[in-house]
A and B are shown apart, each in its own frame.
Chain A
Amino acid sequence: MPSENALLEEFAQREYQHGFVTDIEADAIAPGLSEDVVRLISGKKNEPEWLLQWRLKAYRHWLTMEEPKWHNVKYPAIDYQESIYYSAPKQQVKLNSLDEVNPRLLETYEKLGIPLEEQKALAGVAVDAVFDSVSITTTYREALEKHGVIFGPFSEAVHRYPELVKKYLGSVIPYSDNFFAALNSAVFSDGSFCYIPKGVRCPLELSTYFRINAQNTGQFERTLIIAEEGSYVSYLEGCTAPKRDENQLHAAVVELVAMEDAQIKYSTVQNWYPGDANGKGGIYNFVTKRGACRGDNSKISWTQVETGSAITWKYPSVILQGDNSVGEFYSVAVTANHQQADTGSKMIHIGKNTKSTIISKGISAGVGQNNYRGQVKVMKGATNARNFSQCDSLLIGDRCGAHTFPYIEVRNSTAKVEHEASTSKVGEDQIYYLRQRGLPTEDAVNMIVNGFCKEVYDVLPMEFAVEARKLLSVSLEGSVG
């Protein structure tokens, strides 16, 4: 094992290559993944033995797995030994002022209407002592605690509510589920833990912004949400500001559990760095998200607006176990420039009288490639299952692509499964018409695109809906003409 000094030097050099000013702490580890690294991560968080063992089992299983290749996205092979799997939060690079931030990034923040102090925080600029994010978080948590709602960092929940974590971790997505879930289970950094007690309707929309260290949770985020009988929670993940990260692979895992009569609404707005205009750099967003409607009459809704990342690969799904349970998936995925997406949903109907809805809107521009991949599975005992799937693709320009891969498997003859698909091009005619009424081209395209996405916007929490519109127009800038 190289001396601490040698490690620091290596780390310092790596950072210099990117032109940042470094702030070195003694907490650096070398790139690479091994059982030692897993132990190190677990040790740094003071995790109980059962969790370390779980991580190790996941890691060992990961070693036996092969990276899946059935996707319709292209990327150069990932060297798993090249990433740094642990990075202490203090290591985050600090710039001295907004002047040092890429002006294009600042331009985007302005367009999205982000207040100055938040801009600093997002760009990694040292924040003034005056901007006290901790006090905002505290007030928020107090309001929740009054209702018995637990919402905090996953790492904290491991210590405060070990029984809950132990019971549900891996219950919806076992580490053996897929390659990236196994990797995540071995090296997950942190995430959210949320528990809503019986009969409680969570009084506030839970937003990841209010979680301490929201921006430092790193590449392998792990989130677990449990809604007890008769409870309700609306959870907002992400933010509209583009975030850069040295690490390219982001493989998060999100598990949702809804008991009888409970409802979970999970909304995501994702705008990770998509890479430059030539397709270089950009984040790989390979996520496993799944909700289990364990109880009768339960409901889980996934709503997502994905405009960032070089590659988005995710299928937020719902397992409809309880009778009369409902699963919903509403998505807008944008691929502009060189972005690629392979996204969709899986709805597994197990209980009786279950219902699922999939509305997917894909927008491609530039040389972007957008894939919808969905699976509707009706198991033998799933009497009276109902599914409605609609996947619409919108093409802007003539070099992009939209592809659809629906999988429908029905094993019960009382099922009703409907699938509709449409592909359209942003018509020259439509743009001409809108321009002739006084709207400049960009505004015309935005209007058409937003009209296309309306069905999904209508189900987004209001603040996200407003941001989503702005976000889409920023993402599609320069795609026309």
Chain B
Amino acid sequence: MLEIKNLHARSEDREILRGINLSVGAGEVHAIMGPNGSGKSTLAHVLAGREDYEVTEGEILYEGKDLLGMEIEERAAEGVFLAYQYPVEISGVSNKYFLKAALNAIRKYHGHPLVSRAEFVELLKENIKLLGMDKNMMDRSVNEGFSGGEKKRNEILQMAMLQPKLAILDETDSGLDIDALKVVADGVNSLRSPERAIIVVTHYQRLLDYIVPDYVHVLAEGKIVRSGDKSLALELEDKGYAFLQTDSEPATAN
């Protein structure tokens, strides 16, 4: 589903991604780990299309299409979803209103009929239940006054509502206590499907106990230095990222 070839990207003054190669297939869960500043979040945002980052080299094929040539909203409509590490607040716009507008924007893009009120309410009810959220939160402004955990849950709720093909979770576990983590992980797991690919960006191995990955890649200094299966994550937890220095060699994933 996703082919990243020799991706180089910079922000303002420095190069952050220095030749990323990664392949992600439908139905797979890939974890991206690495020390601070390695470029994990940058990779997530470059996939989403954030304009602060300039891609200087390389290409990204999403379902065979040139992802880098697509606008942010186009990528979203084609099924790319980013669960933000720091979701923004949007005052005066209710969660309900925003979700419906997003859903319809995507439907409109595909020439599908817009979602009816009844359909939307049903869909929302189901997913709120799935994530153990309070339905009153839907009338509040997007992320306004939400705790860290509630914000992360809201991201997964949106994912459940928009049903993306490629979901990228950017440090979804940061700031979550164990219980919140479990709820979020359950939500993500329920969205696993043979048609869907999930990339989980995380610092810590802990999340991966709940969202068990098929592949783990370690990003360091803008490159993937090591790839493996879920046991790699356990190894990292045990030894830390430093052990990779001795053992490093730019590798292509898969």
Residues of A within 8 A of B (CB): 427-430, 432-441, 443, 447-448, 450-455
* Cβ A451 vs Cβ B141 within 8 A: yes
Distance of A450 from chain B, by nearest CB (Å): 7
Which listed residue, B51, B92, B101, touches A453 by the CB 8 Å rule?
Answer: B92
Distance of A27 from chain B, by nearest CB (Å): 50
Q: How distant is the Cα of A434 from the Cα of B82 in the complex, in angstroms?
A: 11
Secondary structure call for the A interface? helix
Given contacts A443-B105, A447-B101, A451-B141, contact A436 B92 (CB under 8 A): no
A434 cross-chain contacts in B, Cβ below 8 A: 90, 98, 102
Distance of B167 from chain A, by nearest CB (Å): 12
Q: How distant is the Cα of A429 from the Cα of B109 in the complex, in angstroms?
A: 23
A-B CB contact pairs (8 Å), 25 listed: A430-B88, A430-B90, A432-B72, A433-B87, A433-B90, A437-B76, A437-B105, A437-B162, A438-B76, A438-B105, A438-B106, A438-B109, A438-B162, A439-B101, A439-B102, A440-B71, A443-B105, A447-B90, A447-B93, A450-B93, A451-B90, A452-B91, A452-B92, A454-B92, A454-B93
The interface bits of chain B over 70-89 (1 if a CB of A lies within 8 angstroms of the residue's CB, else 0) are: 01110111000110100110
Q: How distant is the Cα of A340 from the Cα of B54 in the complex, in angstroms?
A: 36
Residues of B within 8 A of A (CB): 48-52, 71-73, 75-77, 81-82, 84, 87-88, 90-93, 98, 101-103, 105-106, 109, 141, 158, 162
B50 cross-chain contacts in A, Cβ below 8 A: 432
A429 cross-chain contacts in B, Cβ below 8 A: 88
Q: How distant is the Cα of A399 from the Cα of B82 in the complex, in angstroms?
A: 31
Q: How distant is the Cα of A452 from the Cα of B142 in the complex, in angstroms?
A: 12
Q: Which residue of chain B has the shortest Cβ distance to A422 in the bound complex?
A: B91
Given contacts A432-B48, A433-B90, A448-B90, 15 further A-B contacts (CB under 8 A): A432-B51, A434-B90, A434-B98, A435-B72, A437-B76, A437-B162, A438-B76, A438-B102, A438-B103, A438-B109, A439-B102, A440-B73, A451-B91, A451-B93, A452-B91
* Cβ B76 vs Cβ A436 within 8 A: yes
Q: Which residue of chain B has the shortest Cβ distance to A444 in the bound complex?
A: B73
Closest 6 A/B residue pairs (Cβ) = A451-B92, A451-B93, A437-B102, A454-B92, A438-B105, A435-B72
A440 cross-chain contacts in B, Cβ below 8 A: 71, 73, 105
* Cβ B105 vs Cβ A436 within 8 A: no
Q: How distant is the Cα of A427 from the Cα of B93 in the complex, in angstroms?
A: 14
B82 cross-chain contacts in A, Cβ below 8 A: 436
Q: Which residue of chain A has the shortest Cβ distance to B77 in the bound complex?
A: A438
Q: How distant is the Cα of A439 from the Cα of B158 in the complex, in angstroms?
A: 14
Distance of A436 from chain B, by nearest CB (Å): 5
Most chain B CB neighbours (cut-off 10 Å) among A429, A430, A434, A440: A434
B102 cross-chain contacts in A, Cβ below 8 A: 434, 437-439
Which listed residue, B49, B52, B71, B93, touches A448 by the CB 8 Å rule?
Answer: B93
